[in-house]
């Protein structure tokens, strides 16, 4: 009977609009969920064959849920370097456990990049999923494998220690006053090989020859310790473009095997008439035209200038970049001393580049590459199935994954200090809320009206 079919049609309207209301409720509830993708229930009419002429049987409506996974939300600024967003297509590959990851562990896909560092140093997002990537080896080399998710592991930024880097170069930016030091007189006749050396004066001001100028620099040794090395200068009265110079240790006791206390090198530093450093005639580093360099042997060395045995460290070989060492008629000053090398440090933070490379930044200035984030793409991302935690799993409708390096092969870029916002528009959702409520009320009205019509039919007998 047509009236009965109207009842069923009204019931299908209630069911379909209930589903729509549920989707709208989820959308509104997740307005502030990072990278949430809105759902929408679309209606499709149901039609049965009308075999009796002049009769019509209502078939009702069916509900089909559609995910807007490919619709990107706005990229918004965030406060943490581990808050990351994908600008473009693709998903982060994540797991629900940190380590070890095996073939049997499921992989999930998400655009929710609100990652923080857990107690074990792993990057985990608000949904409890751990970020996967291709890890760097001991040499900092990354070997991406797009075809095998098992090559990706959870990224850890704390389970790494900074390597000690010995100082191998010091860039010197200084000027020696060509006019000399007014009123300055050496405390005795200068001789680099006797107790009249500037190294003696540095060790004991009651002895030796007082320099016109001294600057000190820090060098990192093989164990990560800091050693103080000084350069002292005394202008040669007989040659206005020449300075006696010594390189010595502070304190002197850290150097063994030298002629004078702590002395590492002694000789002349010469300048051209335009005030620039003249390497071709300087003898501080050996015969004229020798590269500006000083060497200190290991503590275990049997002879020669070396570190004291009590230090127990390897030797140092340091190049001095004296390109910016000048002799102008202006005050003697050190503008900068820039040694390379670094001591052992602690991790301060992580950095994520646009190409997905994750690095650890240490408090000693060292940066170490940890790995690279892989971006998974699908032929039909809207066909993925959603799971708890704002993540998705692969289905036959989505097609098979392809993991790529960011910015390659259609994969999006990775943006640090950023999060993708939900793609929910509240104005649209509230409008749909009103429409759905009205449609639900209308469907219920169909049922009550059909019921009244059936009552009338039953009452015909009376």
What pLDDT is stored for residue 54 in this prediction?
63
With bands split at pLDDT 50, 70 and 90, how would you rate the model's confidence at 449? Answer: confident
Picking from 219, 210, 273, the residue whose alpha carbon sits closest to that of residue 244 is 210
Look up the domain containing 448 and give its range: 2-68+423-461
Within-domain flag for 164: no
Question: HEC string of the chain?
Answer: CHHHHHHHHHHHHHHHHHHHHHHHHHHHHCCCCCCCCCEEEEEEECCCCCCCCCCCCCCCEEEEEEECCCCCCCEEECCCCCEEEEECCCEEEEECCCCCCCCCCCCEEECCCECEECCCCEEECCCCCEEEEEECCCCCCCCCCCCCHHHCEECECCCCCCCCECCCEEEEEEECCCCCCCCCCCCCCCCCCCCCCHHHHHHCCCCCCCCCEEEEEEEECCCCCEEEEEEEEEECCCCCCEEEEEEEEECHHHEECCCCCCEEEEEEEEECCCCEEECCCCCCCCCCCCCCEEEEECCCCCCCCEECHHHCCCCEEEEEEEEEEECCCCCCEEEEEEECCECCCCEEEEEECCCCEEEEEECCCCEEEEEEECEEECCCHHHCEEECCCEEECCCCCCCCEEECCCCCCCCEEEECEEECCCCCHHHHHHHHHHHHHHHHHHHHHHHHHHHHHHHHHHHHC
Q: Which of the residue ranges 1-5, 116-120, 316-320 would you say has the lowest mean pLDDT?
A: 1-5
> 414 and 436, same structural domain?
no
With bands split at pLDDT 50, 70 and 90, how would you rate the model's confidence at 417? Answer: very high
Picking from 112, 237, 227, the residue whose alpha carbon sits closest to that of residue 167 is 227
Last residue of a domain, one of 313, 339, 365: 339
> 381 and 242, same structural domain?
no
Within-domain flag for 53: yes
Position 337 pLDDT exceeds 80: yes
> 411 and 262, same structural domain?
no
With bands split at pLDDT 50, 70 and 90, how would you rate the model's confidence at 51? Answer: low
> 179 and 93, same structural domain?
no
> 415 and 283, same structural domain?
no
Position 309 pLDDT exceeds 90: yes
> 383 and 280, same structural domain?
no
Report how far Cα 114 is from the mean position of its chain's Cα atoms: 14
Within-domain flag for 153: yes
Give the Cα separation of 437 and 233 in Å (integer): 90
How many structural domains is the chain composed of?
3
State pTM to two decimals: 0.68
CATH number at residue 301: 2.60.98.20
């Amino acid at each position: 009977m047509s009236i009965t079919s109207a009842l069923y049609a009204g019931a299908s309207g209630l069911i379909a609009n209930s589903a729509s209301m549920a989707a709208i409720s989820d959308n509104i509830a997740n307005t502030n969920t990072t990278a949430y993708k809105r759902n929408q229930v679309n209606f499709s009419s149901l039609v049965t064959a009308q075999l009796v002429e002049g009769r019509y049987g209502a078939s009702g409506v069916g509900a089909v849920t559609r995910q807007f996974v490919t619709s990107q939300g706005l990229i918004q600024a965030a406060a943490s370097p581990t808050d990351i967003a994908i600008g473009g297509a693709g998903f982060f590959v994540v797991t629900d456990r940190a380590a070890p990851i095996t073939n049997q562990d499921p992989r999930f896909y998400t655009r929710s990049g609100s990652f923080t560092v857990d107690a074990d140093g792993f990057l985990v997002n608000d949904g409890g999923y751990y970020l996967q990537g291709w890890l760097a080896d001991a040499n900092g080399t990354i070997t991406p494998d797009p075809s095998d998710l098992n090559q990706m592991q959870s990224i850890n930024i704390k389970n790494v220690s900074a390597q000690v880097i010995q100082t191998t170069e010091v860039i010197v930016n200084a000027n020696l006053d060509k006019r000399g030091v007014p009123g300055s007189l050496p405390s005795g006749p200068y001789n680099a090989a006797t107790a009249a050396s500037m190294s003696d004066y540095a060790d004991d001001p009651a002895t030796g020859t007082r320099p016109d100028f001294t600057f000190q620099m820090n060098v990192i040794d093989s164990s990560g310790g800091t050693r103080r090395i000084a350069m002292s200068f005394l202008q040669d009265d007989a040659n206005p473009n020449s300075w006696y110079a010594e390189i010595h240790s502070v304190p002197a006791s850290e150097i063994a095997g030298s002629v004078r206390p702590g002395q590492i090198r002694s000789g002349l530093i010469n300048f051209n008439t335009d005030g620039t450093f003249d390497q071709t005639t300087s003898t501080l580093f050996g015969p004229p035209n020798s590269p500006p360099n000083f060497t200190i042997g290991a503590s275990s060395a049997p002879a020669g200038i070396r570190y004291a045995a009590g230090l127990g460290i390897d030797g140092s070989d340091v190049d001095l970049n004296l390109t910016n060492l000048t002799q102008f008629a202006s005050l003697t000053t050190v503008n900068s001393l820039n040694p390379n090398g670094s001591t052992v440090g602690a991790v301060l933070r992580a950095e994520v580049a646009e190409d997905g490379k994750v690095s650890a930044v240490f408090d000693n200035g060292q940066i170490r590459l940890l790995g690279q984030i892989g971006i998974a793409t699908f032929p039909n991302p809207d066909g993925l199935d959603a799971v708890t935690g704002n993540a998705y799993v692969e289905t036959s409708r989505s097609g098979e994954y392809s993991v790529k390096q960011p910015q390659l092969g259609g994969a999006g870029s990775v943006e640090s200090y950023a999060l993708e916002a939900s793609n929910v528009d509240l104005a649209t959702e509230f409008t749909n809320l009103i429409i759905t409520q009205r449609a639900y009320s209308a469907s219920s009205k169909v049922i009550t009206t059909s019921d009244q019509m059936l009552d009338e039919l039953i009452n015909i007998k009376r």
